[in-house]
């Protein structure tokens, strides 16, 4: 590269526009830090006529983003289109094959195809940066690959989706139900018209798969992440969580259990003593536990044009200075396949919400099922007067293997006193 790094940007949505603005506004500072000028010379987006509030004069426009991979005036490709297939995958693949560094915010692409893209980047000796793909402006990728590289990581977990955190925060502070708050999130631009990827935990699972690969030196395997979203969470659950001294959060958790690594995205009840319980709104937070460093907590904006553009710029500066490491921290050939089996399994405490007939003996019958599965009750709460012959009951279980709790709930579902299927939320003692 010469004294100028020529950048081709594919995707001119909120992040793309913010990146161009950032590079222009901070040109002097970035040049000093990168040792070269970073200049956007080519762009591509679906709608050429749209006013994005930025100056695109002097930039070559490509109707087909895939052409950036071979454009003569592009040294580095920035992919901000999204999607695990189609033009985004083609652009990144071809750019790497042509020996061009790539910076992307596309967590879905990397979660689905990160292993092969990592091999391509290493074969051609170029960077594949994706700091912006996980937790917005929080530099968690660099923290894992560089700052904490000397540690044996036991666990990495966190709030990885700002939309879900906003919804749960609003439900707690206002008492409104999920559908109402989701509509507000959509109106504010925090949630897409089709919010499935966010509220069903898929977006968080994509990000967790990437963090797990770096933390534990294993191949990315999104298909092995257990995923559960927040669409079944009710105001009652959140109110009971408060009463028991918890906050309800959607967390991604990757941790060593025996000889294996588990990766799970679930709603969790988190103790108020844990700093992550206090992260509200659209913010994200990631906790890393290493054997020497102990617990490290990083918190900040998890999305938005400015935060994500900041992360993209960080990767671009690394490219300009020649600072880059293997895509997932160690060479792709050294990444381990995820191991199955092992004698250990997930376990913990559990919150169980039940709606039952209001008649004598029901609680004793429920307790007997839990007893038969060797599950001990820590707390039991029946709040308020039963209405219409029904009674809401909440049970907190002591630590038990998750498989045993699920088996007990399956048996409880078949009891004639149960008016709707039990609702279980894991309690994470982090």
pLDDT tens digits for range 375-387 = 999 988 876 555 6
Looking at residue 49, which CATH number applies to its domain?
Answer: 3.40.50.720
Does one domain contain both 132 and 145? no
Does one domain contain both 239 and 324? no
Give Cα 363 distance to the centre of its chain.
Answer: 38
Domain that holds residue 117: 4-137+307-334
pLDDT of 342 reads 53
Mind listing the pLDDT tens digit for each residue in 216-254? 999 999 999 999 999 999 998 998 899 889 999 999 999
Looking at residue 397, which CATH number applies to its domain?
Answer: 3.30.70.260
Does one domain contain both 17 and 35? yes
Q: Which residues of the chain have pLDDT under 50?
A: 1
Model confidence, pTM: 0.92
Does one domain contain both 325 and 297? no
| Residue 135 to residues 37, 78, 92, 160, 163, Cα–Cα distance (Å) | 27, 18, 21, 6, 12
Does one domain contain both 125 and 145? no
pLDDT of 294 reads 96
Q: Which of 97, 107, 145, 207 is catalytic?
A: 207
Mind listing the pLDDT tens digit for each residue in 331-342? 988 999 876 655
Does one domain contain both 234 and 365? no
Are the C-beta atoms of 89 and 113 separated by less than 8 Å?
yes
Task: Tell whether 404 is covered by a domain.
Answer: yes
Total tally of structural domains belonging to the chain: 3
Does one domain contain both 274 and 397? no
Q: Which residues pair with 39 in a beta bridge?
A: 6
278 catalytic residue (yes or no)? no
Tokens of 183: 């509509």
> Using only C-alpha atoms, what is the Rg of the chain?
24
Are the C-beta atoms of 12 and 296 separated by less than 8 Å?
no
Looking at residue 165, which CATH number applies to its domain?
Answer: 3.30.360.10
pLDDT of 50 reads 86
pLDDT of 106 reads 97
pLDDT of 359 reads 81
d(CA 207, CA 98): 27
Length of the chain: 430
pLDDT of 383 reads 67
């Amino acid at each position: 590269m010469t004294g100028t790094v020529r950048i081709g940007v594919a995707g001119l949505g909120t992040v793309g526009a913010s990146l161009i603005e950032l590079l222009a506004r901070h040109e002097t500072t970035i040049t000093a830090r990168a040792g070269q000028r970073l200049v956007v010379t080519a762009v591509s987006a679906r709608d050429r006529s749209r006013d994005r509030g930025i100056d695109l004069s002097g930039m070559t426009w490509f109707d087909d983003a895939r052409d950036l991979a071979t454009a003569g005036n592009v040294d580095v490709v920035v992919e901000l289109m999204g999607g695990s297939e189609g033009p985004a995958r083609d652009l990144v693949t071809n750019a790497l094959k042509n020996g061009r560094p790539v910076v992307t915010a596309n967590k879905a692409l990397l979660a689905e195809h990160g292993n092969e893209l990592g091999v391509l980047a290493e074969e051609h000796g170029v960077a594949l940066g994706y700091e912006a793909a996980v937790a917005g402006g929080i530099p968690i990728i660099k923290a894992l690959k560089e700052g904490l590289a000397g540690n044996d990581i036991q666990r990495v977990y966190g709030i990885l989706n700002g939309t879900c955190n906003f919804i749960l925060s609003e439900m707690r502070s206002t008492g409104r139900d999920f559908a109402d708050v989701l509509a507000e999130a959509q109106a504010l631009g925090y949630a897409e018209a089709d919010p499935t990827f966010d509220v069903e935990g898929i977006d968080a699972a994509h990000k967790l798969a990437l963090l797990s690969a770096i933390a534990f030196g294993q191949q990315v395997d999104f298909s092995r992440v257990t995923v559960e979203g927040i669409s079944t969470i009710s105001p009652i659950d959140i109110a009971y969580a408060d009463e028991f001294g918890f906050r309800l959060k959607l967390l991604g958790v990757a941790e060593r259990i025996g000889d294996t690594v588990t990766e799970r995205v679930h709603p969790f009840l988190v103790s108020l003593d844990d700093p992550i319980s206090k992260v509200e709104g659209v913010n994200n937070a990631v906790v890393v536990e290493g054997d020497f460093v102990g617990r490290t907590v990083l918190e900040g904006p998890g999305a938005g044009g400015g935060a994500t553009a900041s992360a993209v710029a960080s990767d671009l500066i690394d490219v300009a200075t020649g600072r880059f490491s293997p895509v997932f921290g160690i060479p792709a050939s050294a990444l381990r396949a995820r191991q199955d089996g092992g004698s250990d399994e997930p376990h913990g405490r559990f919150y169980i919400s039940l709606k039952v007939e209001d008649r004598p003996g029901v609680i004793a019958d429920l307790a007997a099922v839990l007893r038969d599965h060797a599950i001990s009750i820590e707390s039991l709460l029946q709040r308020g007067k039963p209405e219409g012959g029904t009674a809401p009951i909440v049970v907190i279980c002591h630590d038990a293997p998750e498989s045993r709790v699920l088996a007990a709930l399956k048996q409880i579902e078949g009891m004639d006193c149960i008016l709707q299927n039990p609702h279980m939320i894991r309690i994470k003692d982090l």
